[in-house]
Amino acid sequence: MSDDRDVELVGGVERREIVLVEPDPAWPARFARERERIAAALGPVAVRVDHVGSTSVPGLAAKPIVDIDVSVPDVEDEDAYLPALLAAGYLLRVREPGHRLVRTPDLGVHVHVCSAGSDWERLHLLFRDRLRHDADDRAAYAALKRELAAREWPSMNHYAEAKGELIAEITARAEAWASATGWRVADADHGPS
């Protein structure tokens, strides 16, 4: 995790209401459209394009924001991908070591750019696959999200940080599950959930 001083929030801190909605069957289709848009913009620079976050887990309530991980050869080499994503209509929101975030102007899609083979890539995919696989972890995560969404937060980042302890617990179980099953990033599903 990077130090907050290493995080640049383009446009500053935003206060947004945290709203959870029931699973929407349109989320995988929105991901598929955005994946095509990203692939067209980046070509082979996009090593992987994966649906991640709560909208990628069937049956899980979520903020109506489709999260996408895009793995590139080197996230720090912004010239290789950022101008193309901006030209495709995405807006830069976050710049931090090992991660960039661009999003759609309607705020309905967040694209997380990371380096292929990085911990960022692996942990997002492992966490997603664990939630898809384990009903108890999925239920615990859903319950916490509902509890937290009922509170007022100064920013979405504060809401995300409040999930940290449970995310760490689920990640520990996910690591054990990955070891027991032989799960690897290469086996993670690229396509719509």
8 A C-beta contact, residue 69 and residue 48:
yes
Chunked into runs of 10 residues, the chain (193 residues) has average pLDDT values of 61 73 94 97 97 95 95 98 98 95 96 97 96 96 94 84 95 96 83 49
- Residues 32-41: pLDDT tens digits? 999 999 999 9
The model's pTM is 0.90
Q: Which domains does the chain have, with CATH numbers?
A: 4-180 (3.30.460.10)
N residues, the chain: 193
8 A C-beta contact, residue 181 and residue 134:
no
Distance CA 56, CA 132 (A): 8
